């Protein structure tokens, strides 16, 4: 009796080429994820190895590090990232709250580890940011109902909203947020708690130290 043939494992590098440029963080090919959307500089690609998301052209290690350094630092010096490896990003797709207006790089913990290694730094134990993570999950849920994106967090000054194109759509979005806000929050809290327990919280605080 002949043995069943094994399907050969194709390495990620085999997908590299002009349509799949290298990831700035790890060098593996970037693959298409989301097409161009209002408020974004171009289509979004993602790395299947480290998880980094890139809006528009892939850029360089230096550019990605500068973008990381521009993120708002907390009182203890930690940097918060909207986690592209979080459950809210997987659930929301193009409606993920982390796709803010003007976003360039969409970080994961692993992508940040690889980026900061270029300047001889390591990431200390990441910490889930509960309030920000729940807010991201809540807004992601709301985005599935609205024409615009991040309308609620934009009103609260917590995000750069992308309003809908037409006035009637913007008025309807305002009504939708009022009607759906509480049910969406009731769903967001347990979802984000589960995500955090599985290590896939939507917002993560990171601290760096030299090797």
The pLDDT tens digits of the residues spanning 73-94 come to 776 788 999 999 999 999 999 9
**Mean pLDDT across the stretch 103-130?**
95
CA–CA dist 105, 125 (Å, integer): 21
Q: Give tens-digit pLDDT for 29-48.
A: 999 999 999 999 999 999 99
Number of other residues whose CB lies within 10 A of the CB of residue 90: 12
C-alpha 167/C-alpha 144 separation (Å) is 19
Which has the closest alpha carbon to 138: 185, 179, 92, 182? Answer: 185
β-pair partners for 26: none
**pLDDT grade for 8, boundaries at 50, 70 and 90:** very low
**Separation CA 204–CA 211 (nearest Å):** 21
The pLDDT assigned to 76 comes to: 75
pLDDT at residue 7, rounded to an integer: 43
Q: Which pTM value belongs to this model? A: 0.87
Rounded Cα distance between 186 and 88, Å, is: 15
């Amino acid at each position: 009796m002949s043995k069943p043939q094994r399907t050969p494992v194709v390495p990620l590098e085999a997908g590299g080429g002009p349509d799949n440029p290298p990831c700035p963080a790890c060098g593996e090919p970037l693959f298409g994820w989301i097409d161009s959307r209002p408020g974004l500089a171009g289509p979004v690609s993602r790395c299947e190895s480290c998880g980094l998301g890139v809006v528009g052209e892939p850029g360089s290690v230096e550019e990605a590090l500068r973008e990381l350094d521009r993120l708002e630092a907390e009182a203890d010096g930690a940097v918060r990232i909207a986690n592209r490896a979080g459950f809210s990003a997987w659930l929301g797709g193009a409606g993920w709250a982390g796709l803010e207006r003007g976003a360039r790089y969409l970080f994961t913990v692993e992508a940040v580890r690889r980026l900061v290694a270029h300047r001889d730094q390591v990431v200390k134990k990441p910490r889930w940011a509960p309030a920000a993570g729940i807010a991201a999950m809540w807004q992601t849920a709301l985005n599935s109902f609205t024409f615009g994106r991040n309308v609620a967090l934009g009103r609260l000054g917590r995000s750069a909203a992308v309003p809908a194109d037409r006035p009637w759509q913007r008025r309807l979005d305002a009504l939708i947020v009022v009607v759906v806000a509480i049910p969406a929050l009731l769903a967001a809290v347990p979802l984000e708690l589960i995500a955090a327990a599985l290590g896939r919280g939507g917002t993560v605080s990171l601290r760096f130290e030299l090797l």
